[in-house]
Amino acid sequence: MNNFVKQQVLPYFAVSIDASVTPLGNGHINDTFLVRDQDTEFVLQRINTQVFTTPDALIANADKVSQHLTQKRTQSLYQLQVVAPIAASTGELAVDLGEQGYWRAISYLDHSHSVEVIESEQQAEKAAKAFGHFANALSDLDATQLEDVITKFHYLPGRIEALKQAAAIDMYGRLGECQQWFDLVLAQTELLTELADIEAKLPLRTCHNDTKINNMLFDKRDMSSLAIIDLDTCMKGHLMYDFGDMVRTFTSPEAEDSTNLANVEVREAIFAAICRGYLAELGQTLTELERQSLWLGAKVMCLMIGVRFLTDHLDGDKYFNIHHPGHNLERAANQFTLFQSLLAQQAQLISYLK
């Protein structure tokens, strides 16, 4: 891959083939590299066009969000760094090489550091505050200006229907090993009813839609908040899902694919820290109904990501990158266990949002 990138892709960005190209991050979808030579360094990505079937829309959305945040920053209304697109030598923000991939470059931030598991309340509050700051800065960006890069991305009924179809076909004979998790999903009828009652009443916002902890960068010099990255799924949506994805990825002491299920639980103190940080930035922007929806968002996201992992496992691992057989089932079991922990602690956790 490195030789191909150096010889076929880097020339479009006026970079020597002698530049170093190293894998960066551990994303599930795109292939990401850090490119360095004597004069420059930037992030290079090959967009997964099987997932993002309209990559031009992805590029356009990310550019609009980046420009909006940059303007806010010049007005001292946004304190974080902004990840910006880098144009190719053609002047375009992406290079389409057909079967050889759809490539784009974005700025690399010096001194950046990401974490996979939150280690302290302070870390959680900083990250949640950063995501809240990001959302607040975008609250005046008309969400309808952004295209849907993935249709019905956070649509739980559709995700469950896809799981049912995968289970009915069971092409790889895997349903038997995960029947308990499939049954757990089908039992969530009350959650679906609750979601249907509230979602249509919520305002559309420009949302990040993938607020995993590793999409917020810390400054490794002092561990202050540096930037929100991965703008690929920025589009219209509801903030309850952004809040929910923070709960999903911040609160467990175990990584998303850990098989140590006995240790997978929602840490109450971390949940409280998320609420403090997020609401400190967005408290005056959220409507009362949006505030009420945040708890629902936490439940839905823990369940929905588990559903997506389980569906991909039954489908033969076509969507998420896996590192070994059964990886998606391990991820699904992890997320469903976290969902169960969330429900078990509902009475005390929901109080932090009031």
Residue 114 lies in a domain: no
67, 84, 108 - which closes a domain: 108
The answer on 219 and 337 residing in a single domain is yes
Within this chain, do residues 148 and 100 fall inside the same structural domain, yes or no?
Answer: no
Any domain includes 186: yes
Residue 286, exposed/middle/buried by CB under 10 A (0-12, 13-18, 19+)?
buried
| Position 154 pLDDT exceeds 70 | yes
Q: Is the pLDDT of residue 218 over 80?
A: yes
Answer yes or no: are the C-beta atoms of 25 and 83 closer than 8 Å. Answer: no
In a domain, 113, yes or no: no
**CB-count exposure of residue 144 (10 Å: 0-12, 13-18, 19+):** exposed
The reply to whether 164 and 75 lie within a common domain is: no
Domain identity same for 135 and 263: yes
Same domain, 91 and 136: no
Is 97 a residue whose pLDDT tops 70? Answer: yes
Domain encompassing residue 27: 2-108
Q: Would you mind telling me the total number of residues written for the chain in this entry?
A: 354
Q: What is the pLDDT of residues 182-195, one digit of tens each?
A: 999 999 999 999 99
pLDDT of residue 308: 97
- Is 71 inside any structural domain? yes
* Residues of the chain by 3-state class (helix, strand, coil), percent to 5: 50, 15, 35
> Do 138 and 14 share a structural domain?
no
Whether 17 shows a pLDDT value over 80: the answer reads no
Q: Answer yes or no: do 201 and 54 share one domain.
A: no
Q: How far apart are CA 211 and CA 301, in angstroms?
A: 11
Q: What is the pLDDT of residue 37?
A: 84
Q: Pick from 291, 273, 270: which is nearest to 282 by CA?
A: 291
Same domain, 222 and 102: no
Distances (CA, A) of 280 to 212, 223, 275: 19, 19, 8
115 falls within a domain: no
83, 108, 133: which is the final residue of a domain?
108
Question: Are residues 290 and 168 both part of a single domain?
Answer: yes
The CATH number linked to 327 is 3.90.1200.10
8 within a domain of the structure (yes/no): yes
| Among the ranges given (16-30, 118-132, 334-348), the one the predictor scored with the smallest mean pLDDT | 16-30
Residues 183 and 143 in one domain: yes
Asked whether residue 272 is domain-assigned, the answer is: yes
Given a cut of 80, is residue 76 above it in pLDDT?
A: yes
CATH number at residue 28: 3.30.200
Distance, CA of 162 to CA of 144 (rounded, Å): 27
Mean pLDDT of the chain: 93
Q: Kindly tell me if the per-residue pLDDT of 228 is higher than 90.
A: yes
Residues 58 and 139 in one domain: no
Least confident of 84-88, 289-293, 302-306, 336-340: 84-88
Number of domain units in the chain: 2
Is 24 inside a domain boundary?
yes
Predicted confidence band at 22 (pLDDT cuts at 50, 70, 90)?
A: confident
The pLDDT assigned to 1 comes to 61
Domain check: are 174 and 298 in the same one? yes
